[in-house]
Chains A and B, each alone.
Chain A
């Protein structure tokens, strides 16, 4: 640590030493916060006095004693006929499949007494490998969204299925017989049986055509592969096999195509340890700071208009090495590109280049580069392509033109909302009137559905049967975990009904699997066993031969030759390095494409990079902020007037370090209309923002950047931002992040570690853990070591000869290891913890008041090297902010063995357990907040309000349906008590009980925390340190003694049971 001279900062405010940040750094709350006085009056003037206090107290005493007299009668209501598999109080797990357009995750659904309460990753799947993402976790709340459509409707008026079906079938038949065109518009459909349902529908109504588009299109990538290989598919990338990866704007760790899968793969080759001393290197060239850029070893900010030239230059650099002719494009000089080309070439056949651009020419160049690098067959697999993006921009654009021309007589919007999330949505909205029959299957009357004649609400994925083939030969089954809550019907069933097929969809899927998939395996001879096994596992992954043709595979063409000169001239004409203001439209990892816009968990989780909750904003580089006068202060910012074309809107400004100069970035997924007719919901309305889909450039391929026609000005107004950036500051204690370069690590595994020494007058310098707080005379070694039993010798504290002040943990010693090197900061752990532990959603206002309740947060630190930063030389700072390095650190209760919080609690509400846990007892807590003040890690959260049954926090704990998401094994905390991470004690207790009743010790992996189970990269590992077989114990046995494991703030001798592994960057000592 001491030798690297890194300087860590959380945000611009901290870096520039903003007066307010300094002022409030050691305060828990930023300023005087109004809390309602005794009579609910929030005004400043209405101060309550002593008499009011006495009156209220008198009333309370009377009320309490009266209430105490009357014990409420509680009922115990048994099942009339108990389902065989349900044991009240014991959860059941069902394998299912999360599908949202092309986004896929194989999941396990935890249900209690028939209601789903948690979604976990399914480790049987070799696609997602047990990982999840924030959106997968939060999807459970969308199930219990009370604002969902509750029954079919005709022109906004409630109806019933029989009427709707009859009218629709009549009209469809009539239109089809008169030769009228019918369109089914959908996002990517991964389900092969659904594809067949649609095919059946088209047989019945031959004028029907299926149009697919993606909210964030990868059409160019598909086309490039179609031209080169004849297959319009996303290839399977193998990030785990790549030693050098270059990403051009592809946020493959956050949002690009299949982030859960890619993150797991990527992390496999980023982990270091006893056996593994090599890791991959990631170059990132991008315009705004994405999650992938934040994890890159070398990151270069480029302007969107440079992207084409940069990729062309890389092509030329690689071509020169490969002895191929170069293409004629303007030269461009940007940092690290030459190095990238060199590294890629050195790592030939182990390199991988990806681009997130939706420009066909760029994707074609990337294909060529990968071919020269020999990536095909090694890091890219064309034989098992991914079908997670199937949208065809050209077809969708043609559809909109057809609607405009009045050529379409009927349209079915299959779970699609193009009026909102397609760039030409406005035109579509205007012209939909020309379509005779408009049917939507939306879960609410959103932008598109409100314009349709019929809305036939689809059921939530947890209420539906489904199947999926995300990659060729990788099948997945989705089963319902609950009956439909409302009178909804899954779309496939609707389509079957309208096609005149009386089969229910479950039978249909079974038949499909029987006819098409059963024969792909030879393990089971009975279909029933095969079906049950597949349903149990959730996935079916046979090794399919060459001859297998997937339903998801569009027609294959012959490979065509690529005309490089044409590409070069296209690029030259399009990408001209200019200085104008440019716009990037991007997808945020937590908000996603906006399909879960009404989900409170989504908005309460901070964005991993900007740390913003609740709402949309413009990211600008510091240089632009200086020029235009934008200011970011403690939780407030100036707003900017952004003009794009002829449209003008106001959004707050967030200064984003690492953003390319003179570019602005605004995220998708916000700006839902709230009017009499259209309402996506209360939560979506609170999140507000601007709909950026409308500004994407809808050419032949939708482009998510604009090079001209944009202006931005200071509006002169201020807006409060729900940003958690400066909350829980680390007070300049920079040793909490310990990092080193790969070369340093290879020389010395403990490189970057900080070994604090305490100097004393008698014994001189010692490590902090050898100093005893209590046993002064003997220094903690007072008792002579006794002969230990065999079992005792295996305990963690004994194995590690832990020094002074040890607690005795004879049974379990729960511990956690967090690998900073494989933590990509995605935030899946945050949402998983949020849901598992009944953590309240607090809303925008309370986040601004620094009262967010998350038990785990991910601290994102920017870091910069060099001198002069301590003095805060502004020119130096500006340089630093241009492109800082980033490190993510998940931070939760560290479960200190010498916990500072425990010693200050006046009522002993927080105590230490014999299993190494720091326990928080809510019913004993009186809310002094001493513990929070004394916690060096700032991980304790105070319940300022009763968030449940409180109209002011109308998120999910205010109605019976929303409350169904609550975990019945975890107390719902009330106002006035402190809370914090419990290391998922409820899961620990369940695991222990299971072991006890089976007369054995718990197996490793049986007990795990919600955060660890959600982590897509396995950066968080939890287990029993006393169990010498456990993964966490094996890992830490080595890393604590010889390697990378450290405790945050070890110098204050708190002795946490949570260990961090140092961050290793694969960068050369001297940066070129």
Chain B
């Protein structure tokens, strides 16, 4: 049953995905607009702490904040690390710069404030010595701005979503309004016509001067029963019915085993959107055998640990991963892309040799909170691509002779199908 459910849910998911994508896009613009609009309050503290209230600086600060701090810090609430609101009031700028660059050193140097922080949060922030002083200043400028004029988006996501939907509705609302208006008009017209009809019939009936033929017309009743049992109607209806059933059945049968849109829940809610999208971690960093093997391979927790030994170590999901490792138990990820056993697919062939991008088949992974199967993964889908795609023969000595021969006999570019890409035994053996 779950497959049916997933197909049924698909359109909704799609709408949701689309809607949420718009939402996020709008958040960013809102913030920027807000930032430029209000500059007055920032001036006083900025002058005291050396922070800027320049819009450009704040924008840069936002970018840096999202890239380096957001995993652990928010401005107005405590996440992994302390809330940063008014941090510029609590400490002096040089102290802050020093601490951000070398937190552990500062704490271990015996600084009382830093030590108190460590006592409360029980972990070291990683060194950020790669940040330049003015970059830290811009981050703090953004924090100051955010402290004073908190963006609704970051704190109350729901609110913005609502506004976004409103604005979206208003654009499409006009259309709906027109349709509703026309429909109401139609109903009104029909009602008026019906009223007219009945009034006229009553009037004629009262006159009593009608001939039999006219009476017959006047008392005419639509004999629904007769129509329904007529051969023509039954014929048409059964044809339509059979055709519909066949259509539904064939469509249903074709989709058996097709899991397009399959987005199972994973044991750890790993976000590709965050890792691949926001932090732009290369796909091959985790799926590191994609150029060597038929499998792209799912990374084990040892890959997560490259970063997460210091980042977000206290998050409950990370704790889960630690648990897996401690119990010597592998994480049972749910496979999203399932090819039947009879089909052989090799990632290395497609990624390394053909030079295809992951998104060709896996879609816009960078925006997927939960990974789902975007492509059909049917044979027709494979074949279609093999028909359309040109062989990545340039610079590959394997194809030199083939290209030469192909160009001799054809003016078309050499497609995968031209070199046997449609043959059964390329994938089935």
Contacts and interface: CB of A to CB of B under 8 A. Distances in A.
Interface string A771-792: 0000000000000000001011
A79 interface: yes
A70 B3 contact: yes
A993 B353 contact: yes
Contact of B329 (A76, A80, A922): A80
Interface residues of B, number: 61
B257 A75 contact: no
Interface in B400-429: 400-402, 404-406, 408, 419-420, 423-426, 428-429
B246 interface: no
B298 A810 contact: no
Nearest to A809: B420
Interface stretch (A81-89, A103-111, A509-517): A81-89
B120 interface: no
Best-buried of A89, A919, A972, A995 by chain B (most CB within 10 Å): A89
A923 B379 CA distance: 12
A78 to B, nearest CB: 4
Interface in B296-342: 297-302, 324-325, 328-335, 338, 340-342
A162 B335 CA distance: 43
Contacts of B334: 73-76
A1000 interface: yes
B330 A921 contact: no
Contacts of A80: 300-302, 324-325, 328-330
Best-buried of B332, B335, B399, B420 by chain A (most CB within 10 Å): B420
A915 B420 contact: yes
A69 B2 CA distance: 7
Tell me if B's interface is mostly helix, strand, loop or mixed: loop
A69 B332 CA distance: 23
B289 A88 contact: yes
Best-buried of A74, A75, A996 by chain B (most CB within 10 Å): A996
B229 interface: no
A800 B195 CA distance: 93
Nearest to A909: B424
A986 interface: yes
Contact of B298 (A78, A90, A811): A78
B365 to A, nearest CB: 16
Given A78-B333, A971-B342, A919 B424 contact: yes
Contacts of A792: 405, 408
B349 A996 contact: yes
Contact of B299 (A69, A78, A986, A999): A78
B344 A77 contact: no
A915 B420 CA distance: 8
Contacts of A87: 289, 292-293, 297
B309 to A, nearest CB: 14
A919 B425 contact: yes
Given A88-B297, A969-B344, A971-B429, A78 B423 contact: no
A306 interface: no
Interface string B369-408: 0000000000000000000000000011111111011101
Contacts of B428: 919, 921-924, 971
B54 to A, nearest CB: 47
A75 B334 CA distance: 4
Contacts of B297: 78, 87-89
Interface string B274-302: 00000000000000010111110111111
Nearest to B419: A811
A69 B3 contact: yes
B1 interface: yes
B353 A997 contact: yes
Interface in A937-986: 969-972, 982, 985-986
Interface in B162-220: none
Interface string A58-81: 000000000011110111111111
Contacts of A970: 429
Contacts of B292: 87, 90
Contacts of A23: none
A802 interface: no
B133 to A, nearest CB: 40
Contacts of A78: 297-301, 330-331, 333
A711 interface: no
Contact of A73 (B264, B397, B425): B264
A985 B291 CA distance: 21
Nearest to B253: A68
Contacts of B341: 971-972
A914 interface: yes
A81 B332 contact: no
A913 B348 contact: no
A1001 B401 CA distance: 10
Nearest to A984: B429
A506 to B, nearest CB: 24
B429 A986 contact: yes
A77 B396 contact: no
A472 B406 CA distance: 57
A249 B98 CA distance: 91
B324 A985 contact: no
B256 interface: yes
A547 to B, nearest CB: 48
Interface string B14-58: 000000000000000000000000000000000000000000000
A75 B429 contact: no
Nearest to A908: B424
Given A923-B428, A982-B425, A68 B333 contact: no
A105 B352 CA distance: 38
Nearest to A985: B429
A90 B293 contact: yes
A917 interface: yes
Interface in A986-1031: 986, 989, 992-993, 995-997, 999-1001
Contact of A77 (B330, B404, B406): B330
B346 A993 contact: yes
Interface in B74-110: none
B404 A789 contact: yes
Best-buried of A76, A89, A972 by chain B (most CB within 10 Å): A76
A1015 B426 CA distance: 27
B420 A811 contact: yes
B300 A81 contact: yes
A76 B335 contact: yes
Nearest to B343: A923
Contacts of A173: none
A911 interface: yes
B396 A996 contact: yes
A914 B330 contact: no
A830 B369 CA distance: 52
B259 interface: yes
A791 B353 contact: no
A76 B332 CA distance: 6
B397 A75 contact: no
B4 interface: yes
Contacts of B404: 789, 791
A77 B331 CA distance: 6
B65 to A, nearest CB: 33
B353 A789 contact: no
B257 A68 contact: yes
Given A82-B302, A913-B420, A1001-B397, 7 more contacts: A76-B335, A90-B294, A789-B401, A791-B400, A811-B420, A915-B420, A997-B348
| Those 3 A-B pairs whose CB atoms lie nearest each other, nearest first | A89-B293, A791-B401, A919-B425
Interface of B: 1-4, 256-257, 259, 262, 264, 289, 291-295, 297-302, 324-325, 328-335, 338, 340-342, 344, 346, 348-349, 352-353, 395-402, 404-406, 408, 419-420, 423-426, 428-429
26 contacts: A77-B298, A77-B330, A77-B331, A78-B299, A78-B333, A79-B330, A80-B329, A87-B292, A89-B293, A90-B292, A90-B293, A90-B294, A810-B401, A810-B405, A810-B419, A913-B424, A915-B420, A923-B340, A923-B428, A971-B429, A989-B344, A993-B346, A993-B349, A996-B353, A997-B352, A1001-B398
